[in-house]
Structure 1
Amino acid sequence: MTYRHSLRKRVAIAFAVCVAVLSVVWGFAFFAAIKLSEDRAMTQQLQVAADSYPAVTMNPRGYDDIDSLPEPLRDWARSHPEEGTYEFTADEFHVAVIPSDNELGRAFVVYDVAGIEAESSEDWWWLLIISGVVGTLGVLGFGLGVMVIRRAVAPVAELAKVVAGIDLENLSAGDHKRIESSRFGDDEVGMLAETIEKTLERISAFVVRERDFTGSASHELRTPITVISGALELLEQSDLSAADVKVLDRVRRATREMKTTVDMFLCLARETDDERYDQQFLVAPVVSQAIEQQRHLLNGKNIGVDIDELANPSVFGHPQAFSIAVNNLVRNAFEHAFEGRAAVTVTIKEHELLIANQKSRNTDELYASTETPSSHGYGLGLGIVQRLCERNGWAFSLVIEETCVAARLSW
């Protein structure tokens, strides 16, 4: 369906049409009420005259003498009322006081409305009828307004329904075609639909490229690491000097760190990872493995590691992401710890992992700007851990005190 006018103009036209229709309906209603009142008053007056036939009295009547007035009005007339009109509800009289040339200087025009005005009970019935009519017109007006406005904004509701039907968590390459922006015309809604369609098209293309890239990168980056690891295993079987063994150990650690780094960045790059984000695993084995992998950083240092397992919790999430986060925290704690007894403490609780280390002399400089991770040092580790936690629904915080630094990973 295409529209000749913009959404703003259609809403304005719909509002104007609704107001015009309601105004016409109310106008006819008031006109009908006035005509009904006139006809009723005339009918009642004729009925009173017919009931008194043949002695038909003229109504209203004029009086120049107070004594000729109806008895209920005589005492009032003697009080010299001012010129004007008066109503006597109890006696059912309407009186007009006008100037005159008689001795009183006043004349009285009396309208006897007895039998003409409606009784109180009848007034209540008329009030009830009028209230019903007004209420009915109000409901009809509200329904008309809703119908007109809904028709005016129907394209927006249709677009919202189409967009709501798209699974944004699992976009496919053809999801953008479901919008069909051409059917919304060339107004504001059409422009919005076209923008959403193009945006989804770009996102879908990006998701496809991301999946292709991570799949290819995973193979291309891990292949040379596997080759290096195999070569190291062959070298270990050779007769090597003590110096060569140290070099071999350094190459092995660098290869292992490179493999961890590749896995880490591939894990962060993937939008989806084969539904591995809801696996359950134990925390203690992951922590023990991370400590053993990073223990070489403590070689030649008088730094102790104290592991306090207060619980044996299990975590839901991505096991590799958790391992990468723990390895980052353990490595940074080992690198920046001050030499001393039990300088690094690892505490495993039911819902959190706490890794604390005593501050070295240059810790303040190393931990500076942790909120904006840099491309080197501890800042990069914090940024990686933060992103991994956000992806898995975990919480990460870093507390820097005067004597120690505590990294807390909770779930």
Structure 2
Amino acid sequence: MENTDKQEGKVSSWCIISLASIPLVMTLGNSMLIPVLPILEKKVGISSFQTSMIITSYSVAAILLIPIAGYLSDRIGRKKVILPCLILALIGGLIAGFASWKLDDPFTWIIIGRVLQGVGAAGAMPIVLPLVGDLYKDDDEKTSSCLGIIETSNTFGKVLSPILGSIFAALLWFLPFFSISFFSLISIFLIFFFVKAPKETDEPVKLKIFIQNVKKTFKSEGKWLFTVFLNGIFVMLILFAMLFFLSESLETIHDIKGIKKGFVLAIPLLSLCISSFITGRNIKGNLKTIKRMMILCLITTSISVVFVGFTKERLILLLVVTSIVGIAIGALLPVLDAIITENIRKEERGTVSSFYSSARFIGVAAGPPIMALVMKNYLNLSYIIGGILGLILLFLVIKFINIEKIENKKSST
């Protein structure tokens, strides 16, 4: 009992705030550039597809390195991976910002800086999920609640991003790159001083045994895990494709630019943030509730996303439809976090959750360039296909997420 009290005592409000700062900073690092992309096109002299690569390069670097960061966090500790990676994100922002400021042809160096930021994101943001699981041990209700706060911080970053990005760009078009470094520095300070990761009492298992254990986990839990991974890819693909389209169409169709555009872009993201917070507070680690929420959110996303392209000419309708999509995605994200974090053994939690985070970044990376390619000629068709993919995922959730089986496995381990 005394040990439990000590453990819970370590999870202070400042600790939770510090952990929540990581997804906030990493989300700002990516999403803050979305409203600035049309400005970048003109200032740097690049195409719409090239500007989408500024988002994608960040995400591709994260996809490739997240599993390595997850493994290292299981072996050497979460905090020892998070801090160096936040420093890399800081350096990446400085490189991209300085190149934009001083070079005549900065595109290559912007991409290099973005790749470094992606490497930083790979070792910071995904490690937060297993660290929350470590801090609260077997208390699913508190874990779910804290994960809800973490995911809300992530989505709140998405709300702030278009507003801050537009304000910074209005002052200096390359200022958003430098601001990412500043926010990373704040997060480094918070993590260093306020996060006390639980001390490991057991020796880490040898690499060969660790790999065998991870293989066993994927073999026994693979069907529901891969279903969750696919959901992660899907929701982030839909979200970032939709945001890229919205950013472009607000300027080209509705002539909304600058700071005003940032506030308009924030409307569907605010609905996503509120939805994420409410869901995270109420699921309480209950697997039946989690599955019901997944089904409801996928149905809502699949139906509403079909209408995004059809409403592009009518601003109010467009914002209503994208806000409904935002509500559904916002409710789904903490649910996916919870089912992954609470039902995998601590020894493999970092590695497995890192694969999930990597899957999410696949959606982030793919969304903007796909939308840039299909936006002119196949806009409505692309959103209809998105709705069909959502219904396919709905079938997979119903079929493969077996509540009783997951609970039995969890209790046996």
TM range (shorter): under 0.3
Larger Rg: 1
Superposition TM-score, scaled by structure 1 size: 0.24
Higher strand share: 1
Higher helix share: 2
Superposition TM-score, scaled by structure 2 size: 0.23
Indicate the structure whose relative CO is greater, using CA pairs within 8 Å and at least 6 residues apart: 2
